[in-house]
Amino acid sequence: MQVSRLEKLLEFIKNEPEDEFLKYALATEYLRLNDSTKALEYYEDLVNNHPTYVGTYYHLGKLYEALNRKPDAIATYEKGMKIAREKRDNHAFSELQAVYNELTGLYDDDDDELIY
């Protein structure tokens, strides 16, 4: 019998319950399995207990968008941009800024140019 990726991750997290990478992997796996409730639990745990794990903010924001929680998505992107800037993670910052600008309407839909 083959052990699923989810089962392996759940076994790993038992031994290292505060491992941020494992929490991120579990959130991503639950999302892949269309279990947005469990994915949300892990992503929210990460931003609350491991706020500098900057990769979380993009995916949590996108999940909030999918759940029609636009204000939560905007706040998540804003917090993620702040942390990415503090960590000098320009790649993460630019990704978060792009989705933030799109969600808040700072880009014109027709030509993807920033509206001044």
Give me the CATH code for the 5-104 domain, please: 1.25.40.10
Judge contact between 52 and 87, C-beta under 8 A. Answer: yes
The model carries a pTM of 0.86
Kindly state the percentage of the chain with pLDDT values over 90: 87
Q: Among 33, 32, 58, which Cα is nearest to 43's?
A: 58
Domain residue spans in the chain? 5-104
Q: Among 94, 75, 98, which Cα is nearest to 84's?
A: 94
Question: Could you report the per-residue pLDDT of 6-52, keeping only the tens digit for each?
Answer: 999 999 999 999 999 999 999 999 999 999 999 999 999 999 999 99
Spatial separation of the C-alpha atoms in residues 99 and 6, rounded to whole Å: 29
- Mean pLDDT estimate for the chain: 91
**Per-residue CA distances from 77 to 6, 12, 87 (Å):** 27, 29, 15
